[in-house]
Amino acid sequence: MASSAGSSDAILVADDIAVRFETPEGPITAVDNVSFQVRPGEFLSVIGPSGCGKSTLFNVIGGLLNTHDGVVTVAGETISGPHKSIGMVFQEESTFPWRTVTDNVAFPLELVGMPKQKRVERARHFISLVGLDGFENRYPGELSGGMRQRVSLARTLASEPKILLMDEPFAALDEQTRLLLGDKVLQIQQQLKQTTLLITHNITEAVQMSDRILVMTYRPGKVKRIVDIALPRPRTSEIVGSEVFGRYVAEIWNDLREEANRGMRDEEKSVLRREEQAS
């Protein structure tokens, strides 16, 4: 459980997070004893197999899940609900189908009562940032999946959060779109110097975009290892082909393989258990 980040200048601190659930099959510990820190401007990925509690962690940090042990602080303040310094981008389709792209992106600005003129202007800026110029007045239904995720991203960025928290935002997209969007996110992050915490199961994505990668074990999710990614910045998706990239990916897969296997065996066992109970 080594942490290689400095502690005094961390903008996000997760301290000994543990989450337990009651299920019909008994209590399970989704996440246990997770601690880490994020520096301002840093891109940290959290990677792990399915069932390692990544999404649980996402909900804890985002303030949507408050029944947990441990403390999360943002710029010194303890989180007890969604915090104004944290912006969340969800895995599922989350654009509002009844609003135009502009109205979607302006949503957080509308909530704080920004006047219409200013909202639209500000929204335009972020729509442009994600590369959707010309689509301001379209509805999400008219856009592709990748474009809709960009709208969601622009919407979150429009609230100008200190920390951008993303839960597998590209999971539903094909590999090529994913790589290109990853490029875009990287570009934006580097431009805005946006502190970013990315939850993912995709190793390539994590290595491509991160400064550090936190590898989690299978349930109960603990911090297995934190890897420093010493690839040069600024980066683009071209780096995916390099040898050094490949080595990082291999290293992390090594860590993950064991956990992923445990996960698979566990799933098979629970299916058999359910069949026994039903019969």
In the range 121-160, which residues lie near another protein by CB under 8 A? 139-142, 159
Dist CA 6 CA 212 (whole Å): 13
Query: Which stretches of the chain are assigned E, i.e. beta strand?
Result: 12-23, 26-38, 43-47, 69-74, 77-78, 86-89, 163-167, 195-200, 212-216, 223-228
Q: Answer whether 254's CB lies under 8 Å from 47's CB.
A: no
Q: Does 93 bind another protein (CB under 8 A)?
A: yes
Among 16, 80, 82, 228, binds another protein (CB under 8 A): 82
Q: Per CB under 8 A, which region of 16-24, 32-40, 118-126, 234-242 contacts another protein?
A: 16-24
Single out the segment in contact with another protein by CB under 8 A; choices: 80-88, 124-132, 180-188, 260-268. 80-88
Nearer to another protein, 39 or 84 (CB): 84
Amino acid at residue number 116: K
Number of amino acids touching another protein (CB under 8 A):
35
Confirm or reject binding of residue 21 to another protein (CB under 8 A). Answer: yes
Q: In the bound complex, what is the minimum distance in angstroms from residue 87's beta carbon to another protein? A: 8
Write the DSSP symbol of residue 217.
P
Among 48, 49, 108, 169, binds another protein (CB under 8 A): 108
212 by DSSP, 3-state: which? Answer: strand
Give SS3 for 141.
helix
C-alpha torsion 38→39→43→47, nearest 10: -20
Choice from 14, 19, 166, 198 touching another protein (CB under 8 A): 19
Q: Name the site residues for another protein (rule: CB under 8 A).
A: 19-24, 59, 62-67, 81-82, 84, 87-88, 90, 92-94, 96-99, 107-108, 110-111, 139-142, 159
